[in-house]
Structures are given as structure tokens and as C-alpha cells.
Amino acid sequence: MHIDIITVVPGLLEGPFSHSILKRAEEKGLATVRVHNLRDYATGKQKQVDDYAFGGGAGMVMMIEPIARCIEALQQERTYDEIIYMTPDGETFDQPMANTLSLKQNLLILCGHYKGVDQRVRDKFITKEISIGDFVLSGGELAAAVVADAIIRLIPGVLNDETSALTDSFQDNLLAPPVYTRPAEYEGMTVPEVLLSGHEAKISDWRFEASVRRTKEKRPDLLKGTGWE
């Protein structure tokens, strides 16, 4: 998988992609993330990428011209399955969307900033608009990192145990069950005996029941229409 990210603040994305799972994915040749500074596609001494909004109002708007130059230059290198814009008014990102996007080969993510982008960018280039929640960040960079992390970890071979992602929260509309490790007893608190039994079928049943129970307690909305209510 190849992911290109367009941003006006590339420094915000240096950390997330140079550590842990995302770094290992690139080292294994399974995923590549490239960050592009939008100012490299701006003109003039100031490398301006934003301007005042027509009609007035507070805040600046990202201009269409540098964005268009950047996207069109990248499109010369590859064909994108999706051109994504990170925006608070986009479709809410969830695990099913992550699963779908993890099957793509090439993704381009545009990070919003200031008061957003000129609407004509969205009309001309964007194929998918994504929000990571009902709140506003200073820009789309952190949101883009969240989306990339959620997608890349699903690619076969990225995780050491490929079954791990299949048992994450929100797969099958369930939260993950409680997990335990050594010691088996700590200050009177013990691990459920079934997890120490070595009986795989009983352990599997316990984990499923615990997932349903936890989901009912914490996120009952996820169970609507599943028959597990």
C-alpha cells in the first residue's frame, strides 16, 4: 500500500510514521507513507497557501491552486483508489471503513487547515471525506495519522500475529474482551480460571461472552440489529 499525505505542517507527521508498527510496515515493504509539504507547490516569495474568505468572516481558507498543483503532480506518478479529505463534516471513521480502505493500493490524504479548503477542491478532486469524531482539531494532520495507523495495521503481515487485528474492538460490532497477563494473582485479584485452563473452546466461548457483556455495558449502540442485544 502507498499513502501520500498533503499538509501545510509536515513536522506534525514526522513522529507517527517513524516508530512502532508503522515503521515496521515500511521496513517490511508492506506500506509506504510519504508526506508532501503543500508550500512546495505554492508560488511567490511567501509561498502562500491560504487567503481570506470571499464574503468575509474570521479565519483563512486554503487556496485551490497549490492544492491542485500538488494533487495533479502526484497523479502523474500513480492512480489513486481514493483521494481523501480530512474534515469535521466528513463521514465518521470506523472499523468497517478501515477494513475497506486497507484493501486499497494507493490513497491520497489531504489535511485541512485554517478554516478548511476552497470548496472547489472538494468538488474537483476529493472522492471521500472523513472525520475521526465530532470535534475540531487545529488541522487534519493528527486525524490523517490516526486513519493511516488504523488502515496499515490491518494489512496482512504488518502485525506479528495476523489474527490480532481480527480480535480488536469493533470487529464484528463488539468491544474486545478483558485481557490478562502474569502474574496470575495480584493483591487478591485473580485471572479467570478458564483462561488458565488451556481449553481453547472454553476460552473462546468465555471471550465471546465477555465481549458481548462489555459491549452491552459500554457501547450498547453497537449491538443494534445484531441479535445480541
Asked if residue 32 lies in contact with residue 1, where contact means CB atoms within 8 angstroms, the answer is yes
Name the CATH superfamily, with its identifier, for domain 169-223. Answer: tRNA(m1g37)methyltransferase, domain 2 (1.10.1270.20)
Confidence at residue 18, expressed as pLDDT on a 0 to 100 scale: 82
Question: What is the architecture, at CATH level 2, of domain 2-152?
Answer: 3-Layer(aba) Sandwich (3.40)
Annotated binding site for S-adenosyl-L-methionine: 112, 132-137
Collect the ranges in the chain with pLDDT lower than 50: none
- For the chain, domain boundaries: 2-152, 169-223
DSSP 43-98: -TTTT--EEEPTT--SSEEE-HHHHHHHHHHHHTT---SEEEEEEEEEEEP-HHHH
DSSP summary character for residue 85: E
Establish whether domains 2-152 and 169-223 are of one fold: no
Annotated binding site: 112, 132-137
Confidence at residue 134, expressed as pLDDT on a 0 to 100 scale: 95
Asked if residue 86 lies in contact with residue 112, where contact means CB atoms within 8 angstroms, the answer is yes
- Using only C-alpha atoms, the chain has a radius of gyration, in whole angstroms, of 22
Strand partners, 33: 3
- The verdict on whether omega for the bond into residue 183 sits within 30 degrees of 0, i.e. cis, is yes
